[in-house]
Amino acid sequence: MTQKYADGKFGEYGGQYVPEVLMPAIEELTDAYERYVLENEDGFMDEFRARLRDFGGRPTPTQYAERLSERYDREVYLKREDLLHGGAHKLNNALGQVLLAKYMGKERIVAETGAGQHGTATAMAAAHLDMPCEIYMGERDINRQRPNVFRMRLNGSAVNPVTTGRGTLKEAISETMRDWATNVEDTHYVIGSIVGPHPFPAMVRDFQAVISEEARRQLDEQTGGLPDAVLACAGGGSNTMGTFANFVDDDGVELYAVEAGGSSLEVDEEEGVAPNSASLSTGEEGVLHGARTKVLQDSDGQIMESHSVSAGLDYAGVGPELARLVDDGRVQAVNVGDVSALEGFHRLSQLEGIIPALETAHAFGYLEEHSEELGETIVVNVSGRGDKDLETVIEETEKRDIENAPSMAEFSGGI
């Protein structure tokens, strides 16, 4: 368990830029984070680990990928977070925060969700721990991630559509903050990534760090050493930071945060639209959702509407710790576009029998394009499985000329 940056500042990034009404709750949460998470008071971390094992199915394997290794003439290992309960890494954080809320005596959970993976994980954790839960989700995301909406409802959570802006993750976070400001006394906001005001970025990283804790140990067991490169997709950055956390001090391990390049890295300043979600690669320092970080914004400081074929990466900001690590040169911020991600999706499905989330597929897009630069041993985090994305993938694949995609024409009528 890393304790870095417990003061909430990552160099010039981080901080607590939130309305005063939330500050007492954030102070209370900071105190709870320090006592229960960092100090294991009342055995909090022991209970968290036990529930991750029994309810979540941890540890997840680090699997040798035979056919990808053959294809690239490298040793490729997959950290299988898609096998965690719920089908993505998100449960690590959601279970940690809902449990923490219980230890704090909170009576209600709210959360935002983009792709629906965090909402789903939070709804599962809330049902598991008997906490009432409401999820805010952009209307556009509701339309492109319907299976996850059903899963949240099935677990007993309310799903509140957010209609402002483009109706994606950015608006959902703003709306959840408003709910929290209204119900702050009995409600905990389970933020879904390493974003927001301190202590969220540090706390979410600590809950997700189990990914790299296991991967580091499991790879050592199999190869007797460390990898040369670790790849993870990056939107807000929770799977990224979880996958990197225990490798940051290993100077020989190159860390690659693969962002969504969308359809283009150019921005349309007039329309306020960036057709990508590459805030680490192209964003400028700014203040968004409680933290100073790298942000897609226009020259006035208005936040841009981001874009990605994958809802979970579709966000104009990124965690402040990742912004710092990129500035320090410790993490390489790279990106691949929608087409490369879709090709990566089909490639992993066909070669390894693993249908990845579209978010995850970006990491495999980068692996395809740059494998020769990544050293001998490569770990890629499979942050989630792709069942939620099937409709989107079939639709987006048909719109484009994706060379390695199977034809679905004979099954017209959809799934």
Partner 1 sequence: MAGHANADLAEAFADEPAFVPYLAAGDPDYEASLEYVEALARGGADVIELGLPFSEPIAEGSTIQSAIVRSLEGGMTPDRFFEFVGDLDVDVPLVCMTYYNLIYQYGAESGPRPFVERAAAAGLSGFVVPDLPAEEAGPLREACDEFGLDLVFIVAPTTRGDRLDQIMSQVSGYVYVQARLGVTGAKDDVSGQTEESLERIAEYDVPKAVGFGIKTGDHAERIVGAGADGIIVGSVLVDIVGDGTERGDSTETIAERLESKARELKQGALRGYEQRVPQAEGK
Catalytic-residue membership of 112: yes
Sign for the CA dihedral angle at 243, 209, 114, 284 comes to negative
Grouping H, G, I as helix, E, B as strand and the rest as coil, residue 110 is strand
What is the nearest approach in angstroms of partner 1 to the Cβ of residue 163?
A: 10
Q: Where are the alpha helices (DSSP H) in 271-330?
A: 279-282, 320-327
The type of residue at 89 is H
Phi/psi for 365 (5° steps) reads: -60, -45
Neighbours of 403 (CB within 10 A): 8
What is the nearest approach in angstroms of partner 1 to the Cβ of residue 287?
A: 4
Using CA atoms, how far apart are residues 72 and 320, in angstroms rounded to an integer? 33
Residue labelled with tokens 């999706």: 345
- End-to-end, the C-alpha distance of the chain in Å comes to 43
Using CA atoms, how far apart are residues 360 and 373, in angstroms rounded to an integer? 20
- The residue ranges that bind partner 1 (CB under 8 A) are 15-21, 23-25, 27, 164-165, 170, 174, 177-178, 181-185, 272, 285-290, 295, 297, 299-303
Query: In the complex with partner 1, which residue's Cβ is closer, 285 or 369?
Result: 285
What is the nearest approach in angstroms of partner 1 to the Cβ of residue 325?
A: 20
CA-based angle 293:96:4, to the nearest 5? 45
CA-based angle 111:117:122, to the nearest 5? 40
Query: In the complex with partner 1, which residue's Cβ is closer, 25 or 229?
Result: 25
Query: In the complex with partner 1, which residue's Cβ is closer, 87 or 201?
Result: 201
- From the candidates 79, 90, 102, 388, give the one annotated as an active-site residue: 90
Using CA atoms, how far apart are residues 233 and 383, in angstroms rounded to an integer? 8
Using CA atoms, how far apart are residues 263 and 399, in angstroms rounded to an integer? 13
What is the nearest approach in angstroms of partner 1 to the Cβ of residue 315?
A: 12
The type of residue at 412 is S
What is the nearest approach in angstroms of partner 1 to the Cβ of residue 408?
A: 38
What is the nearest approach in angstroms of partner 1 to the Cβ of residue 33?
A: 17
Using CA atoms, how far apart are residues 143 and 315, in angstroms rounded to an integer? 17
The CA-based dihedral angle spanning residues 246, 248, 254, 255, taken in that order and rounded to the nearest 10 degrees: 80
Catalytic-residue membership of 383: yes
- From the candidates 112, 343, 352, 396, give the one annotated as an active-site residue: 112
Query: In the complex with partner 1, which residue's Cβ is closer, 105 or 252?
Result: 105
Helices (H) and strands (E) in the chain, counts: 16, 14
Residues 6 or more apart whose CB falls under 8 angstroms from that of 85 comprise: 55, 56, 57, 91, 124
What is the nearest approach in angstroms of partner 1 to the Cβ of residue 17?
A: 5
Query: In the complex with partner 1, which residue's Cβ is closer, 185 or 249?
Result: 185
Neighbours of 299 (CB within 10 A): 7
Query: In the complex with partner 1, which residue's Cβ is closer, 271 or 376?
Result: 271
Query: In the complex with partner 1, which residue's Cβ is closer, 156 or 165?
Result: 165
Using CA atoms, how far apart are residues 204 and 239, in angstroms rounded to an integer? 10
- From the candidates 79, 277, 383, 396, give the one annotated as an active-site residue: 383
- The residues that are catalytic are 90, 112, 383
